[in-house]
Amino acid sequence: MKEFILASASPRRKDLLDSIGARFRIIPAEVTEEEDGDHDPEWMVWHNAELKAAWVAERHPESFVLGADTTVYIDNRVLNKPRDLEEARGMLTILSGRTHIVYTGFSLHRKCDKLIETRGVRSSVSFKPLDDTTIDRYFGVVNVLDKAGAYGIQEGTDIIIESFEGSHSNIMGLPIDETKELLSRHKLI
């Protein structure tokens, strides 16, 4: 099994890759991500995943590099990471009692042989109705500022989430079954 580079500082992506026994090191990409809600969300996460992987691959041309990006989509707009708790409260209020889509794009690059493979996965999540007290309770359990849509499915789930369809790990930030298949084909796990 060869080592690869994860072009992300996300603790959730690290944990998910650890769970499948992957050997990797972390080098976060220093890029400005596309976060414009006017773009198609699927295109946006694919673009950002490729941008991150390409930035690291340029600096490590012999290495396989995995980049990923996740966003929440509702009402024809993207909800990325909130800037502060006020914006996080606004996002959770928008999601309250409704169903939204979570998109993740992931991209494997290796500059020396011009490898670029990009894929995407979507899942849907339905929220319980949330009032200010419930949102405050959720803020007490979860660091919402480092999560697209101001929530994580892996913690405080019973407080806010009614149900979901699709990949649970995609909602966390990396669809692990699809990622494992891609890494396996390149003998990286």
Where are the domains positioned within the chain?
A: 4-185
- Yes or no: domain 4-185 corresponds to CATH 3.30.70.1560: no
| CA-closest candidate to residue 54, choices 110, 105, 124 | 110
Active site residue 69: yes
Chain segment 64-120, per-residue pLDDT in tens: 999 999 999 999 999 999 999 999 999 999 999 999 999 999 999 999 999 999 999
Q: Of 69, 132, 136, 158, which residue is the catalytic one?
A: 69
Asked if residue 150 has pLDDT above 90, the reply is yes
**CA-CA distance, 27 to 136, in Å (whole number)?**
34
Asked if residue 34 has pLDDT above 90, the reply is no
Q: CB neighbours (10 Å) of residue 29?
A: 23
